[in-house]
Amino acid sequence: MSTLAAWFRLARAGWVMVREGVVAALPGDQFEGPPRAAWRIANLLARPRSRSRERTQSIAQAVERLGPSYVKLGQFLATRPDVVGAELARDLAALQDRMATFPTQEAARTIEESLGRPLGALFHEFGEPVAAASIAQVHPARTERAGTEAKVAVKVIRPGVRTRFNQDLEAYFLAARLQERFVPSSRRLKPVEVTKLLAQTTRIEMDLRLEAAAISEMGENVADDPGFRVPWIDWERTGRDVVTMEWIDGAKLSDMGAVRAAGHDPVALSATLMQSFLRHALRDGFFHADMHPGNLMVEADGTLVAVDFGITGRLGKKERRFLAEILYGFITRDYRRVAEVHFEAGYVPRTHDVRAFAQAIRAIGEPIHGQSADTISMARLLTLLFEVTEIFDMQARTELLMLQKTMVVVEGVCRSLDPRFNMWKVAEPVVGDWIRGNLGPRGMLDDARDGVSAVLSLARQAPDLAARTERLSREIDAMAEKGLRFDAQTAEAIGRAEARHGRWGRVALWVIAIALLIMAFD
Catalytic residues, by residue number, are 290
The residues, any chain, with a CB within 8 Å of residue 358's CB and separated by 6 or more, are 335, 336, 338, 339
Residue 363 burial by Cβ neighbours in a 10 Å radius (0-12, 13-18, 19+):
exposed
| Cα 283 to Cα 275, 278, 327, 435, 436, distances in angstroms | 11, 8, 15, 10, 12
The residues, any chain, with a CB within 8 Å of residue 219's CB and separated by 6 or more, are 229, 230, 231, 232, 233
Question: Strands 304-306 and 228-229, how do they pair?
Answer: parallel
400-426 b/e (C-beta count within 10 Å ≥ 16 → b): bbbbbbbbbbbbbbbbebbeebbbeeb
Sheet holding 304-306, edge to edge: 228-229, 304-306, 296-298, 251-252
The residues, any chain, with a CB within 8 Å of residue 305's CB and separated by 6 or more, are 228, 229, 230, 231, 248, 250, 296, 297, 298, 299
The residues, any chain, with a CB within 8 Å of residue 218's CB and separated by 6 or more, are 230, 280, 284, 286, 288, 306, 309
| 3-class secondary structure, 154 | strand
